[in-house]
Amino acid sequence: MAQRGRRNVWVTSGIGAAAVAGVVGFGAWQAMEKPAIASVSPDPDGAVASAAPQLRVNLSNIDRVSDLSVQVDGADVTPAVRGAKGTLLIPTEGLKDGLHRAHVRFRTDNVFARTVERSWQFTVDTKAPEMALKSPANDAISTKRAVVFEGTAEPGSTVAVAWKGGSRSTTATPGGKFRLRARLPEGLTATRVTARDKAGNTTASDGEVIVDTIAPTITVASPKGGATLTATDTPLVTGTIGRDKPELLTFGVTVNGRQTVSIPGAAGVGAAPLADGATTTVASSTPAAGLSIEGKSFQLDPGALPQGKNVVEIWVKDAAGNVARKRMRLFVDSTNEFGEHDMVVGATGDDAKALNERLKGLGLLRGKVTATFTKRTRNALVAYQKRRSVKPTGVVDQKTRDAMVGKIVVDLSERTLRLYRDGKVFKRYKVAVGQPAYPTPTGTFKVVNKQVDPTWMPPSSPWAKGLGPIPPGPGNPLGTRWIGTSAPAVGIHGTYADYSIGTAASHGCMRMHIPDVEDLYKYVSVGMPVVINP
């Protein structure tokens, strides 16, 4: 009788070997056709994604087995085994994720292989592999067709990127990282990144990538390269955009290597047309007014350009970072007032002469003083900037002007006005200040305008009710010079009433002897700080 847990199984293999036995002898035939287990499934040390995999044992040279014993994880499952076409089929169920062992043993009537057995192990893994795509982000824009996909995934898993027309794959490192390059077509491409583990479980991430390797095109109509600007230092830039939609671009200006403007195109859609530049006394640090777009045409305010020779670059950038540039040289000579505007090499006129005189007086510029900002001027300016702990740019920029031009400090209690340069008192004057009923405001202000031989205009104040304008001349309350400040209706001016200097006699302004205000006027520039202390 057969032992308990063992059974005999007929396995139809379709082998007509009986005829051979009659020719070569039964023993020789059995030696040549030795029974064996050809293969098993799942593969040894393999993995399956099911908790109820059907195990397969593929037999070789076997028609019938006896005393069959099959165990899975030590449990006898022999009664459930079925045979079909040279194969033993072993059903399972309820296997937990992890490592499992199978053992098959049986007897045959072959004298050379009475007992045949096989043990192997496999893994059940029903969980999808972890995967996180670090880049590219969904809807990412690439300026290169070779797009890098990288992230983390289950160690040893196969990571593939697929898109219409192609795919690439790699294996996650033992540390769980992956990185591969996929050459995508120009334009919008749908991609799928898939991680497949050893058991066949998959995790997928769908996304879209935009490949844009073509820069936008730009045409600048004005100003023309090589132009000399004498009426304004804020020229209006006009031009057109080629194939791209202007509202999807970023518009910018770079002046002498420094970016001064960067405006999203969307901000210019529907904006009112910009006015062309005109002579201005606004300091060069004033930002650009903006951008106006109509169809494919644009108007761009580059901001105030420095006096002198400038390299101006108008550029547009698409969402992918492709940039189109138009470079031009512009010479600006729109003012002679030193301290009101930035200055670079090439500037000419009284403002350049005043700069050279300042540098000469400080012992930094050698030789004859000219009315041109030369390379020699630039070298002396760099030395000045280093001395004053200002970034040595070789450009008369805002910080350099603040240090070089200085500031006005008024002490109301002393009735004194001091002009500071380079941190030291450069000039000192006596002034008249506001009456108790019309006190001079205290705080920090700045010079906003300057006038020679001004016309007095009555302010909107009760004390001036019924008064009219007074033209320049001896009867003018402002004397010969007006230096307006950002304090409402308050400025520094001359007076023919010399006796009032040193007293609290004005309606809020700071009065000076006419020779004194004419002297101060030469050193004051628009934008200069004015500090009024109690």
DSSP 251-289: EEEEETTEEEEEEEGGGGBTPPPPPPP----S-TTPPP-
- Angle of helix 375-387 relative to helix 398-405, nearest 10 degrees, comes to 80
Write out the E strands in 289-405. 291-294, 297-300, 308-317, 323-332
What pLDDT, in 10s, does the model give residues 368-414? 999 999 999 999 999 999 998 899 999 999 888 888 888 999 999 99
Question: pTM score, two decimals?
Answer: 0.57
Tell which residue, 446, 437, 420, 432, has the closest CA to residue 520.
420
Amino acid at 131: M
In eight-state DSSP terms, residue 458 is -
Burial class (CB in 10 A: 0-12, 13-18, 19+), 113: middle
Bridge partners of residue 148, in order along the sequence: 181
The last residue of a domain, from among 91, 124, 157: 124
How confident is residue 452, by pLDDT bands cut at 50, 70 and 90? Answer: very high
Q: What is the CATH number of the domain that holds 31?
A: 2.60.40.1220
- Residues in CB range of 324: below 8 A, 6 or more apart: 215, 216, 217, 218, 315, 316, 317
pLDDT at res. 336: 81
Per-residue pLDDT for 16 more than 60? no
What is the pLDDT confidence band of residue 358, given thresholds at 50, 70 and 90? confident
Strand order in the sheet with 131-135: 131-135, 146-153, 177-183
Is the per-residue pLDDT at 281 higher than 60?
no
Residue 420 domain flag: yes
Q: What is the C-alpha separation between 483 and 448, in angstroms, rounded?
A: 8
What one-character DSSP code corresponds to residue 107?
A: E
Q: Write down the pLDDT at residue 7.
A: 55
What average pLDDT does this structure show over 268-285? 57
pLDDT for res 154: 96
Which of residues 92, 124, 156 is at a domain's end?
124
Give the domain CATH number at 466.
2.40.440.10
The answer to whether position 337 is within a domain reads no
Count of structural domains, the chain? 5
12 pLDDT band, cuts 50/70/90, is: very low
pLDDT at residue 221 is higher than 80: yes
Residue 343 CB coordination number (10 Å): 28
Q: Are residues 185 and 95 in the same domain?
A: no
Q: How far is CA 195 from CA 125, 147, 189, 235, in A?
A: 14, 18, 20, 57
pLDDT at 8: 56
pLDDT of residue 285: 38
Per the domain annotation, does 341 fall within a domain?
Answer: no
Torsions phi, psi for 18 (to 5 deg): -60, -35
- Of 27, 39, 197, 56, the residue nearest 127 (C-alpha): 197
Residue 343 domain flag: no
Coil vs helix vs strand at 415: coil
Give the model's confidence band at 276: pLDDT under 50 very low, under 70 low, under 90 confident, else very high: low
Which of residues 285 and 243 earns the better pLDDT score? 243
Rounded to 5 degrees, φ, ψ at 59 are -100, 155
- For residue 368, the SS3 value is coil
The yes-or-no verdict on residue 287 having pLDDT over 90 is: no
**339, part of any domain:** no
Structure tokens, 406: 């200085």
**Can you give the pLDDT at residue 17?**
36
Residue 372 bridge partners (DSSP): 348
Same domain, 423 and 381: no
Looking at the fold, whether 384 and 318 belong to one and the same domain comes out as: no
Share in percent of the chain as helix, strand, coil (round to 5): 15, 40, 45
| Residue 154 three-state SS | coil
| Confidence at residue 10, expressed as pLDDT on a 0 to 100 scale | 52
Give the three-state DSSP class for 384.
Answer: helix
- Same-domain pairing of 233 and 326: yes
At 21 the pLDDT is 39
Q: What confidence score (pLDDT) does residue 525 get?
A: 84
Q: How far apart are CA 356 and CA 447, in angstroms?
A: 23
pLDDT, tens digit, for every residue of 135-191? 999 989 999 999 999 999 999 999 999 999 999 999 999 999 999 999 999 999 999
pLDDT value at position 2?
Answer: 38
What would you measure as the largest C-alpha separation in the chain, in angstroms? 149
Mean pLDDT of the region 202-231: 92
Q: Does one domain contain both 225 and 203? A: no
pLDDT tens-digit series, residues 249-267: 999 999 999 898 999 999 9
Q: Single out the residue in 211, 237, 266 at which a domain terminates.
A: 211
Q: Are residues 116 and 186 in the same domain?
A: no
Question: Do 529 and 467 sit in the same domain of this protein?
Answer: yes
Q: Which residues lie closer than 8 Å to 271 by C-beta, 6 or more apart? A: 290, 291, 292, 293
Q: What is the pLDDT of residue 30?
A: 55
- pLDDT tens-place string over residues 479-518: 999 999 999 989 999 999 999 999 999 989 999 999 999 9
Query: Looking at the predicted structure, is the pLDDT value of residue 458 above 80?
Result: no
Instruction: Please determine, for residue 335, whether its predicted confidence score (pLDDT) is greater than 50.
Output: yes
The number of CA neighbours under 13 Å toward the Cβ of 390 is 20
Both tokens of 23, joined, read 């020719």
Kindly state whether residues 46 and 84 are assigned to the same domain. Answer: yes
| 342 within some domain | no
Which of 240, 236, 377 lies closest to 303, judged by CA? 236
The C-alpha atoms of residue 92 and residue 424 are separated, in whole angstroms, by 96
Given a cut of 90, whether residue 90 has pLDDT beyond it is yes
Domain harbouring 175, CATH code:
2.60.40.10
Same domain, 414 and 527: yes
Q: What is the dihedral of CA 384, 388, 389, 394, to 10 degrees?
A: -30
Torsions phi, psi of 381, nearest 5?
Answer: -65, -40
What would the mean pLDDT of 185-200 be, rounded to a whole number? 96
| Whether residue 359 is found in the same domain as residue 418 | no
- The verdict on residue 338 lying in a domain is no
CB 287 within 8 A of CB 303: yes
Please write the tens of the pLDDT for every residue from 473-485.
888 889 999 999 9
Give Cβ neighbours of residue 16 (< 8 Å, ≥ 6 apart): none
* Helix 350-361 × helix 375-387 angle, to 10°: 50
In the predicted model, is pLDDT for residue 289 greater than 80?
A: no
Q: How many CA atoms lie within 13 A of 95 on its CB side?
A: 27
From CA 222, how far away is CA 237, in angstroms rounded? Answer: 6
Within a domain: 340: no
Least confident of 271-280, 407-416, 419-428: 271-280
The reply to whether 474 and 452 lie within a common domain is yes
Q: Which residues pair with residue 26 across a beta bridge?
A: none
Residues 192 and 301 in one domain: no
Span 437-444, mean pLDDT? 94
Percent of the chain scoring above 90 in pLDDT: 67
Residues catalogued as catalytic: 493, 509
Give the whole-angstrom CA distance, residue 370 versus residue 355.
10
pLDDT at position 6 is: 52
Residues spanned by the domain of 163: 131-211
At 29, the pLDDT band (50, 70, 90 cuts) reads low
